[in-house]
Amino acid sequence: MKEEERVFKPFVPADSTLPEMTVTSIVLGALLSVLFGGANAYLGLRVGMTVSASIPAAVISMGIIRRILRKDSILENNMVQTIGSAGESVAAGAIFTLPALFLWAGEGKMEAPSLLLISLVALFGGVLGVMFMIPLRTALIVQEHGTLPYPEGKACAEVLEAGETGGEKAATVFSGLGIAALYKFVADGLKIFPSEVHYEIGAYKGSGLGADVLPALLGVGFICGPKVSSYLFAGGTVGWFVIMPLIYMFGGDMTIYPGKDPISAMGSFTIWSSYVKYIGAGAVAAGGIMSLVTSLPLIVRTFRDAMKGFGAKTGEQNRQNRDLPIMIAVLIVGLIGIAMWLLPVIPVNFIGSILIIIFGFFFATVSSRMVGLIGSSNNPVSGMTIGTLLVTTVVLKASGNIGTPGMIAAITIGSVICIATAIAGDTSQDLKTGYLVGASPYRQQIGELIGVVVSAIAVGGVLYLLNSAWGYGTGELPAPQATLMKMVVEGVMNGNLPWPLVFTGVFLAVVVAVLRIPVLPFAVGLYLPIHLSVPMMVGGLVRLYFEKRQNLSEQEKKDKVENGVLYSSGLIAGEGLVGILLAVFAVLGLNTDISGIVSLSNFGGIVCFALLTGTLVMFINRKAK
């Protein structure tokens, strides 16, 4: 390893002085941080998962900086993606937890969380995640360069190094963004065709089938690939075609808690929301905990190995091995801990502040190493957050902090830790990219902080805006992860969950694990309406088709998949942006609905989605000039 470390030469040598942290990179990175942060917040609240923004941000940066501004610096482009990708991670951590506060406010248990509270929680969590990574960078990124591949970080570096094709790649992203924006506005703005198609299956009572025929779901399915999409679809199939018809058949005219109507009078959506959602929640919780437990040996080894290299220094000091001073990081962590304890707006006491620092540093360390081994997409952030909430709620309850105040404190603590964990993983990938291309670590760390500050301010506004427009826990914004976190905290604090349904999901997850099927994607598919997994399955099948084509070389397959990933990233960003725009319209009372003049049926929605899928295929087959 030392030999490999000694001979490794980054793309840009240490003695080169290319533009890096410039006004252009800061402004463009901040804009992309808000763009992808808002889009991922909307996506995560709708389907319970987010997508990485590093590569799309790098591609857009190259398209703008190289082709429009006529500048040429790989380090400047890297700084843009470093700042820009922070927004996605802050959004992911925030939407997994903070909407629970809005849900409690809707139930009359508390006032709606203030914009200041949301922004401070996001800010403190993000800054802690960056600070925790400063003393670990040398140990994880440099000393284990040959051991920890950091797949997304390496892929982003390859995209940056292939910058001469950045203009065409950026055009692909922007094309997807524009097409998705137009499609979303026509579907959910003008309402010319339904964005959700649904059919009750009369011959098979209790079941139903449908799809949310929207661009982001198609894009997520393609990016996740056929395996993950099929696991999600399998979970939905078990829920809607196995469990729900059985509930209908055995339930008859009975009214069974937590349902409020006779089961025979329920449609498929009502059966799902009354019963299957809790089964899915049990499966997701079990999947998260199992992923955490099975990772414990790796977690312990990770933490031990990382601590051995804590704050290590290697070789002669230059711009490529300089970090922000560790003492500044320690001071900032201490000030944040005191601020969380003393600021009245943050409902955390001294014990909660200590828990945040301890759990935050531990899970940030674990997160940064695990994304190096298995990638950001497989990082069990939700499992770590569930584990944190379980311990935190028990500790708070034992210390007399009970009831709604205790639950609010638990969610706040979990939110800070969840955001810190997500940002630590993102920072690790960005620092790996910087190590490969020859960036300056201390400048990247400053860039991460800029991205955190900008996105922390923006994500609070986005969460408030979306809640005002549609409300969380609705069909438009089910907020699945946050709803699950709320259930976990309530279940520990006052035991008001329908536990038989929850444990049904737990043991179903155990069976799935025994069959060696990845539990979390299956459980998420069971927890969400099948209408979300169907269009994702379509995206996964499109990718499967191109990956299995016999008449293509491996390089051609790789190029086509890359085209599809870039176009899909545009689809996700485009829908997310228009979703936020429509939320603004809804809050302002602007009505863009013209369905009274022209309106297509469910079949029309299916045709439009088929045409959208055709554009994906077209851009996949697009050849480089």
pLDDT in tens, 102-132: 999 988 888 889 999 999 999 999 999 999 8
Residue 120 pLDDT: 95
CA distances from 602 to 190, 197, 571 (A): 15, 5, 22
Please compute Rg for the chain using Cα positions: 24
Q: Which of 365, 345, 363 is nearest to 355 (CA)?
A: 363
pLDDT in tens, 557-568: 888 998 898 898
DSSP string, 198-228: EEE-TTSTT-EEEEE--HHHHHHHHHHHHHH
pLDDT beyond 70 at 373: no
Q: Which amino acid is at 70?
A: R
Residue 488 pLDDT: 81
Instruction: Let me know how many helices (H) and strands (E) the chain has, helices first.
Output: 25, 2
pLDDT beyond 60 at 384: yes
- Region of 48 on the Ramachandran plot (φ > 0 left; ψ -120 to 50 alpha; else beta): left
How sure is the predictor about 4, in pLDDT bands with cuts at 50, 70 and 90? very low
pLDDT beyond 80 at 98: yes
**pLDDT (mean) for 194-209:** 91
Residue 29 pLDDT: 93
How sure is the predictor about 355, in pLDDT bands with cuts at 50, 70 and 90? confident
Residue 60 pLDDT: 81
Mean pLDDT of the chain: 84
**pLDDT (mean) for 1-6:** 44
- Rounded to 10°, the helix 403-437/115-133 angle is 40
**Least confident interval from 41-45, 59-63, 605-609:** 59-63
Structure-model confidence comparison of residues 212 and 310, the more confident one: 212
* Degrees to nearest 5, angle at CA 48 with 467 and 404: 55
pLDDT in tens, 572-590: 878 877 887 887 787 677 8
pLDDT in tens, 67-87: 777 777 889 999 999 999 888
pLDDT beyond 90 at 619: yes
**pLDDT (mean) for 154-164:** 71
At 52, is the secondary structure helix, strand, or coil?
coil
Contact between 485 and 411 (Cβ < 8 Å):
yes
pLDDT beyond 50 at 353: yes
**pLDDT (mean) for 168-173:** 77
pLDDT in tens, 451-464: 999 999 999 889 99
**pLDDT (mean) for 293-305:** 62
**Least confident interval from 171-185, 284-298, 538-552:** 284-298
Q: Which of 569, 612, 619 is nearest to 84 (CA)?
A: 569
Contact between 579 and 181 (Cβ < 8 Å):
no
Q: In whole angstroms, what is the distance from residue 149 CA to residue 450 CA?
A: 26
Residue 1 pLDDT: 41
Residue 5 pLDDT: 43
How sure is the predictor about 56, in pLDDT bands with cuts at 50, 70 and 90? confident
Give the torsion sign (CA, 79, 154, 386, 573): positive
pLDDT beyond 80 at 211: yes
pLDDT beyond 90 at 247: yes
Report the 10 Å Cβ neighbour count for 575: 31
Structure-model confidence comparison of residues 11 and 340, the more confident one: 340
Residue 380 pLDDT: 58
**Least confident interval from 24-38, 151-165, 359-373:** 151-165
How sure is the predictor about 3, in pLDDT bands with cuts at 50, 70 and 90? very low
pLDDT beyond 70 at 624: no
